[in-house]
Structure 1
Amino acid sequence: MGATLNETLNKRSKPIHLDSEPTPELISQLIQHHQRNNLERYQMLQDYYEGYNIIINRTKKDSSKPNNRLVSGYPSYIVDLMQGYFIGKPVTYTSSDKDLIEEIQDVFNYNDEQDENSELAKMCGIKGKAYEIVYIDEDSKIRFNEIDADYIIMVYDTKINPEPNFAIRYYYGASADSLTSGKGTLNVTVYTKDRIYYYVQGDGGLVLLDEEEHYFQEVPVIEFLNNDEGMGDFERVISLIDAYDKTQSDTANDFEEFTDAFLYLVNLNGTEDEDIEKLKEDKVLLLDEEGQAGWLIKDINDSAIENYKKRLNDDIHKFAKIPDITDEKFMGNTSGESMKYKLLALDQVIAAKQRKFKRALQKRLELICSYLQWKTGQEYDYRDIDINFIVNRPVNEKEMVEMAIQMLGITSLSTALAKVPGVDDVEMELAKIEEEKGTYREDIDLDEIGDEDDETR
């Protein structure tokens, strides 16, 4: 007996698998489930990235005591560092089909593909997933645009290798009434494999306003995952970040209380209020032999506090798998081989990101090729395009160029060029080489270099 809809929906943080058609009733249930199980988490992760950590909400029963609420920037530091390392250098695309790569590059240029990829990587780093909708604009050109995970629901079929069955995008449209009520009218767009449906919330439920064909032959919504679990880059270390924020804030409270310490007087019972006021003004205190004065302060163990904060800092970097670039062990004249080990954990995370991102980029290429084939009648195969990631780490450019030269004769020229620093667009570089052949670097013959490399091997 198959699982009921509620049993399926209660599998939090897991993909939804349904073979059902997207009826208005089912769409409403899916939206309610999404709001109930995902929105609060997404908002919390976004708040942390923007610097609104939970320490911001801390209160104290005694309002007269200091209540510093210091926020660390770990979430944005982790996400931004990984984003730059992962996608700081543009993704490159190569293909033996020149016509196809030219068509694809035109679409990419029209959509500012490099910036789109960067935004998608940041969204994935914060919330664990992001979405992209591919559509046709008013000029009949292919467009794709990132969509936040807050208002997208992807539903897969129940096959062994699941494919998207349909996708839902919902939002609350602004109106004059929504300015006072705080919530506009619910608008829903449903994407299936051949059509797009537009709904609006009515008194009795969702009302179909319009529908149209989209010609992509697949659901034109792409899910970009950060990892298999759909978790953000800093999500696993939030408790450590909270502990660090609390320690920093409590330390600030202790120092503030130190500056506001009480003065105690021993064996000076005859001191009057006016004497204390005079003391504050003159900053001088005369004591007899039996009198004593001092400050009532709390002892602060600086070493223990600093050691605790250092341990928290080290654990945050360790379990988020990012290097602490301010650490003396990381800085300095480190050899390339040593640097590889220091970045080993980060490289494993980036490798997983690349696999997930590549799968989504292939789906984008598949949708584009499908539409181009329908529009032009020409056969295009997205599998003819190779996707290459270049990790944005400090490199010895001389060594990279030498490596590219050594690759000639083993790999194609385009693959070798993809390793050369400064070559972001391999196809454009190949076109320049062809155009300048015979005039540029006439003293070097790439074929001869490849032959020489073969002989030395």
Structure 2
Amino acid sequence: MELDTAKKLITRYVSGHSAFMAKAQEGERYYRVQNDILFRKPKKTDDAQTVDGVNPLRQADNRIAFSFYQLLVNQKAGYMFTTPPLIDTGSEKVNNIIVRDLGDAYPRKMKDLCVNASNAGVAWVHYWIDEAGFHYGVVPSYEVIPVWSQKLDKELLAVLRVYKDFDEQGDEWYIYEFWTDKECEAFRRRSADDIQTGLVTCPMFVDFYVSGLSEADNILRHNYGRVPFIPFFNNNTSSRDLDVVKKLIDAYDKTFSGFVDDLEDIQEIIFVLTNYGGQNLKEFLHDLKYYKAIQVESAGDGDKSGVSTLSIDIPVEARDKLLEITRKAIFDMGQGIDPQQQGLDATSGEAMKFLYALLEIKAGLMETEFRIGLGELARAIAKAHFRQVDQLTQTWTRTSIRNDAELVDMCSKSVGILSKKTILKNHPFVENAEAEEKQLDKEKQDDDQNDDIYGNDLGGGKEEPEDV
């Protein structure tokens, strides 16, 4: 690709990606409980009501951010990926290869994909192959700019990945990787330069990928057969979880923070002085404390000179009701589980399912999309080892409060109706169905061997001759 062509493509795609990037970063910010209220501008004050630029009645400025969104996302991630999905290709050898290449970090990476997809609407996995074997990693969603076809199946034609890096001198660079199904070209520019004047080829690219480099240091040719990026969409609309709860969370933050401001700013009792005869408020407070009395000037009969008090009642009941309604709406609209939810006295498994009803709907939408991405990742691993996957079965497990006794009873009643492997996959005590199946076969062989030994000892020997 010529440099001028690269400048045009990068300028085109980066400019159109800014809106998505802003939303993705906003979702990540709320996940880290950096809500908008923390960045609220100071309250405006009227000059007529200020003393030395400060409003004496409104000095408090509490900014309290609640972690409702983080809780909703963590609920979904823990519910779906505490036990990561199991992959079965029908071949034990291929299964072992996939498990090995997915690695020990597989559960953590699946949770990262869930969080990224919830924050941005889509998460991305990038994989590559070098001398050490197959590798894959979770890429921040705002770094990936996909190029889709206009077909109904939305084929991924290319990916432009944009991220920051530093050279040996400590200078900051923007790196642009343009991936296709056959090669990748890398460019870079200093953060202080613009694309048109500062974009150059990226010789640093050789540091990241060793094999497959052409004579030009910025080009990597590969034989993956596809663009090595796999999307994991959050749901069928590719929308983020923050969209439906952001305004409710902001309203809760503002209401609660405003309530704390009122408690700090508004005094319980305000003195109302009529025809006070003293010099200033300092003298009034001194007389009141020392003499338990104050002097006032009377204007005759009918005069209302004196001291009265004025108390201001904060509408606590109304605010409590608003906070209660808003909290319930957050968990209803966000399809989560409120930890304060009460009233579930039944302990049966069917009763517990109602607690997870909304969360299961949200998890089901994500699972449908993630199954496609996970299948593509498993087939990419198999292809890297020159294996072909004809069929692929995924077993997804939810982590929730459940009645294990009922599950065990259901498994025992399913013997003879379902296969042993299906029963083992759904048994609450089994984590790896294949390992458990091997262990059962081994124990059966040991039992058969022991039965043969005991049988020979008891009746397999020679009969004793009868006494004559």
Aligned residue among 167, 172, 183 for 1:195: 183
- Residue 421 of structure 1 corresponds to which residue in structure 2? 428
1:78 and 1:234 in contact (8 A); partners too: no
Q: Distance in 2 between matches of 1:345 and 1:294?
A: 56
Structure 1: gaps (5+ residues): 1-21, 374-378, 444-457
Aligned residue among 75, 78, 82 for 2:69: 75
- The alpha-carbon distance between structure 1 residues 98 and 300, as it changes in their structure 2 partners (threshold 3 A), is same
What letter is aligned with 1:147? V
1:94 and 1:427 in contact (8 A); partners too: no
Aligned residue among 312, 318, 326 for 2:326: 312
- Alignment of structure 1 residues 112-151 onto 2, 5 Å: 112-139=105-132, 141-151=133-143
Q: Distance in 2 between matches of 1:24 and 1:283?
A: 84
2:352 and 2:401 in contact (8 A); partners too: no
Q: Distance in 1 between matches of 2:170 and 2:288?
A: 58
Q: Distance in 1 between matches of 2:320 and 2:332?
A: 18
Q: CA deviation at 1:96?
A: 2.6
- Listed one character per residue, the Cα deviations across residues 38-93 of structure 1 (whole Å, up to 9, x for unaligned) are 22212221111111111112220135421111111111111111111122222122
What letter is aligned with 1:116? K
- Residue 352 of structure 1 corresponds to which residue in structure 2? 365
1:92 and 1:426 in contact (8 A); partners too: no
Structure 1 residue 26 and structure 2 residue 14: aligned? Answer: no
1:133 and 1:144 in contact (8 A); partners too: yes
- The alpha-carbon distance between structure 1 residues 91 and 274, as it changes in their structure 2 partners (threshold 3 A), is closer
Q: CA deviation at 1:349?
A: 1.1
- Residue 56 of structure 1 corresponds to which residue in structure 2? 38
Q: Distance in 2 between matches of 1:401 and 1:442?
A: 29
What letter is aligned with 1:197? E
Q: Distance in 2 between matches of 1:235 and 1:366?
A: 33
SS state of the match for residue 314, structure 2?
coil
SS state of the match for residue 271, structure 2?
strand
Q: CA deviation at 1:442?
A: 11
- The alpha-carbon distance between structure 1 residues 298 and 25, as it changes in their structure 2 partners (threshold 3 A), is same
SS state of the match for residue 356, structure 1?
helix
What letter is aligned with 1:41? K
Q: CA deviation at 1:235?
A: 2.2
- Residue 412 of structure 2 corresponds to which residue in structure 1? 405
Q: CA deviation at 1:162?
A: 2.3
Structure 2: gaps (5+ residues): 46-53, 190-194, 203-216, 299-303, 451-468
Structure 1 residue 384 and structure 2 residue 372: aligned? Answer: no
- Residue 235 of structure 1 corresponds to which residue in structure 2? 243
Q: Distance in 2 between matches of 1:385 and 1:241?
A: 41
SS state of the match for residue 445, structure 2?
coil
Q: Which moved more, 1:225-234 or 1:264-273?
A: 264-273
- Alignment of structure 1 residues 316-355 onto 2, 5 Å: 316-329=330-343, 331-355=344-368
- The alpha-carbon distance between structure 1 residues 401 and 308, as it changes in their structure 2 partners (threshold 3 A), is same
SS state of the match for residue 15, structure 2?
helix
SS state of the match for residue 437, structure 1?
helix
- Residue 207 of structure 1 corresponds to which residue in structure 2? 201
1:187 and 1:199 in contact (8 A); partners too: yes
- Residue 248 of structure 1 corresponds to which residue in structure 2? 256
- The alpha-carbon distance between structure 1 residues 283 and 215, as it changes in their structure 2 partners (threshold 3 A), is farther
- Alignment of structure 1 residues 137-176 onto 2, 5 Å: 137-139=130-132, 141-175=133-167
Aligned residue among 25, 37, 54 for 1:43: 25
- Residue 365 of structure 1 corresponds to which residue in structure 2? 378
- Listed one character per residue, the Cα deviations across residues 13-33 of structure 1 (whole Å, up to 9, x for unaligned) are xxxxxxxxx955223311222
Aligned-pair identity (%): 21
1:24 and 1:206 in contact (8 A); partners too: no
Q: Which moved more, 1:111-120 or 1:207-216?
A: 207-216
Q: CA deviation at 1:191?
A: 1.9
Q: CA deviation at 1:137?
A: 4.1
Q: Distance in 2 between matches of 1:354 and 1:384?
A: 18
- The alpha-carbon distance between structure 1 residues 282 and 98, as it changes in their structure 2 partners (threshold 3 A), is farther
Q: Distance in 2 between matches of 1:441 and 1:226?
A: 51
What letter is aligned with 2:244? R
- Residue 455 of structure 2 corresponds to which residue in structure 1? none
2:97 and 2:382 in contact (8 A); partners too: no
- Residue 94 of structure 1 corresponds to which residue in structure 2? 88
- Residue 393 of structure 1 corresponds to which residue in structure 2? 400
- The alpha-carbon distance between structure 1 residues 359 and 287, as it changes in their structure 2 partners (threshold 3 A), is farther
1:56 and 1:71 in contact (8 A); partners too: yes
Q: CA deviation at 1:134?
A: 0.8
Q: Distance in 2 between matches of 1:296 and 1:23?
A: 72
Q: Distance in 1 between matches of 2:138 and 2:291?
A: 65
Structure 1 residue 270 and structure 2 residue 262: aligned? Answer: no
Q: CA deviation at 1:135?
A: 1.0
Q: Distance in 2 between matches of 1:397 and 1:441?
A: 31
1:196 and 1:211 in contact (8 A); partners too: yes
- The alpha-carbon distance between structure 1 residues 280 and 89, as it changes in their structure 2 partners (threshold 3 A), is farther
TM-score when normalising by structure 2: 0.79
SS state of the match for residue 438, structure 1?
helix
- Listed one character per residue, the Cα deviations across residues 164-187 of structure 1 (whole Å, up to 9, x for unaligned) are 1111111122248876xxxx2221
1:401 and 1:419 in contact (8 A); partners too: no
